[in-house]
Amino acid sequence: MIEGVKIKELKVIPDERGWLMEILRCDEDRFQKFGQVYVTTAYPGVVKAWHLHKIQTDNFTCIHGMMKVALYDARKDSPTHGEINEFFIGQKKPLLITVPPFIYHGFKAIGTETAYFLSVPTEPYNYKEPDEYRLPPDTNEIPYDWVLEPGKAHG
């Protein structure tokens, strides 16, 4: 596991009315502070990658559909520099992934449904100076193959 990355299996609590799933609590060790909450989606086969943050820590999960999440440790001083982690998360495997700064990450919607990605970063998005640094999904800087589907918008 990449140094500083944390994984938490999420528990779905169903009853006759529906279900509930706690994702992140302020009394957990992984919680640092609240920045904002947002949802983004990806259509089946679409890749949204690569990006990293220099300030914020990300806490995210997939709340609908399924996605493949990949992480790459770009920190030169890290004991896990160059390591890649891959996770399959979503309705069939609910996980919360905590990603510290300087870890490239991205995801691909897998299966036949749109994947809904819920994120709780430690910082609000700064429109004037975004803390977001991007590489294309097929970059040679990261030794990972997303298996991009031709004709789909990726990035």
pLDDT by residue, tens only, the chain of 155 residues: 999 999 999 999 999 999 999 999 999 999 999 999 999 999 999 999 999 999 999 999 999 999 999 999 999 999 999 999 999 999 999 999 999 999 999 999 999 999 999 999 999 999 999 999 999 999 999 999 999 999 999 99
Amino acid at site 5: V
Domain covering 6-134 in this structure, CATH number = 2.60.120.10
b (16+ CB within 10 A) / e for 75-100? beebebeeeebebebbeeebbbbbbb
Amino acid at site 29: D
* pTM recorded for the entire structure: 0.94
Are 5 and 80 a contacting pair, CB within 8 Å?
no
